[in-house]
Amino acid sequence: MFGGKMKALTFSYDDGVTQDIRLIELFNKYGLKATFNLNSEFLGGQNNLVRNGVEITHNKVKAQDVRAIYTGHEVAAHTLTHPLLVKETDEEVIRQVEQDRLALSELAGYEVIGMAYPCGGINCDDRVAKLIRENTGIKYARTVPTTESFSVYPDLYQYKGSVYHHEQWDKMLEMGKAFLELKAETPQVFYIWGHAYEFDIYPERWAQFEEFLKMLSGYDDIFYGTNKEVLL
């Protein structure tokens, strides 16, 4: 149960981009919480990406601003430099994760214990998950595949969320309505993940997402928490 409730809503966003600031304003407006997964060695970097034929900014927040920007939410690890961990040596997997975790803990002002695996596709496996579980301070780690359900995924070190908003937008909207109607008898989690910069690919989605958040907010039977608060 989540604070005495059977339903929980949580969000997770990767890369530590400056669009997180706008997204956090929406979460705060509706009393929702999210987890943000950062690459500490990329903080302050500036870059553009082309996604779906659209050029968008992929600028990273500055290290000195991390604590202020993410206050009230959770900072989590995303490795130092965003490598595909399944291609790395044991030693490099541990270094990428633990050094990122320690650097972000100092910036955030509390111990970081969560993470999201970087890169798409098959970005983790049993070897990588075991290395992280046994050699770092990470307590949970989210991967890319989704379940399209509200079931609590049993593996905290290869955790699968409910839906990826960018590629499963319509499914997310459908699941949102179903979640509100759900009369849960066992713990149920609606876990949404993505990247804040993806809203700039289809700018109208900022307003659409705000309506979605408004729809989900304010229910007495839903616990609104960060990934850490919900999963642990």
Contacts 24+ apart (CB under 8 A), 21-25: 21/61, 21/69, 22/196, 22/206, 23/196, 23/199, 24/69, 24/70, 24/72, 24/73
Q: Quick check: 6 pLDDT over 90?
A: yes
- What domains can you pick out in the chain, each with its CATH number? 7-231 (3.20.20.370)
Average pLDDT over every residue of 159-167: 97
Instruction: Determine the pLDDT at residue 47.
Output: 94
Q: Quick check: 211 pLDDT over 90?
A: yes
Instruction: Determine the pLDDT at residue 230.
Output: 98
Instruction: Determine the pLDDT at residue 73.
Output: 98
Q: What is the pLDDT of residues 47-72, one digit of tens each?
A: 999 999 999 999 999 999 999 999 99
Question: What predicted TM-score, i.e. pTM, was given to this entire model?
Answer: 0.98
Instruction: Determine the pLDDT at residue 127.
Output: 98
Q: Are strands 54-57 and 48-51 parallel, antiparallel or unpaired?
A: antiparallel
Instruction: Determine the pLDDT at residue 229.
Output: 98
Instruction: Determine the pLDDT at residue 1.
Output: 82
Which has the minimum average pLDDT: 49-58, 174-183, 209-218? 49-58
Average pLDDT over every residue of 96-103: 98
Q: What are phi and psi of 73, to 5 degrees?
A: -125, -170
The Cα–Cα gap between 44 and 46 comes to: 7
User: Considering just the CA atoms, what is the radius of gyration of the chain in Å?
Assistant: 17
Q: Quick check: 28 pLDDT over 90?
A: yes
Q: Which two tokens stand for residue 140?
A: 């949970």
- Percent of the chain scored above 90 by pLDDT? 98
Q: What is the pLDDT of residues 126-154, one digit of tens each?
A: 999 999 999 999 999 999 999 999 999 99
DSSP class of 197: G
**Residue whose entry in the numeric block shows the structure tokens 């949404």:** 192
- Percent of the chain scored above 70 by pLDDT? 100
